Amino acid sequence: MRVLMLAPPGGGKGTQGTRLATALGVEHISSGDLLRAAVAEDTPLGRRVDEYLKDGRLAPDELVAEAIRPLLATRADYVLDGFPRKLSQTEGVDFDVVVYLDVPDAVVTQRLLGRGRADDREDVIAERLRQYDADTRPLVDYYEERGVLLRVDGDRPEAAIADELQQKVA
């Protein structure tokens, strides 16, 4: 089973993606984790990505695709978060289920401010939410039209969300 987790930044896609992957017995793949690992390992890709991340910007599409597409090509089942981020990235990437964690902007802002990452500042968060609304939110309609979207209220306790996902996806 191939599952995509969609949510705004700080919306819980990593947390819930990990829990769901464990319940399904499949790998959880996070594009953000892959990019941060590339930076930490000082790979050529990581050095290019770092130029964006150190300024609080998202890595451009082509760098994210360079990190994730080869991995997806070798996996039959997974829970993925962080890719695709735009309609232009959906080509050739199909999912059995797309989970959309619906979380209000005010809630994700508070979550991000409390996370402790160096790039989680109010100005950076506001820009990420603006980018999410412009680029990623259209994916919700795209996957809904294809009949694979599962909307979930993401403004609840983690365990309640995980229970719902396990009942509806697993």
Helix, strand, coil % in the chain, rounded to nearest 5:
55, 15, 30
Residues making up the annotated binding site for AMP are 31, 36, 82-85, 89, 117, 128
Domain ranges of the chain: 2-29+76-164
Task: Tell the CATH superfamily of the 2-29+76-164 domain.
Answer: P-loop containing nucleotide triphosphate hydrolases (3.40.50.300)
Within 10 A of 44 (CB to CB), how many other CB atoms are there? 8
Q: Residue 48 has what pLDDT?
A: 94
d(CA 107, CA 93): 30
Residue ranges at the known binding site: 10-15, 31, 36, 82-85, 89, 115, 117, 128, 156
Query: Model confidence over 115-161: pLDDT tens digits?
Result: 877 777 888 899 889 999 999 999 999 999 999 999 999 999 999 99
Query: What is the pTM (predicted TM-score) of this model?
Result: 0.88
Model confidence at 58: pLDDT above 80 = no
**The pLDDT of residue 113 is above 80:** yes
Residue numbering of the annotated binding site for ATP: 10-15, 115, 156
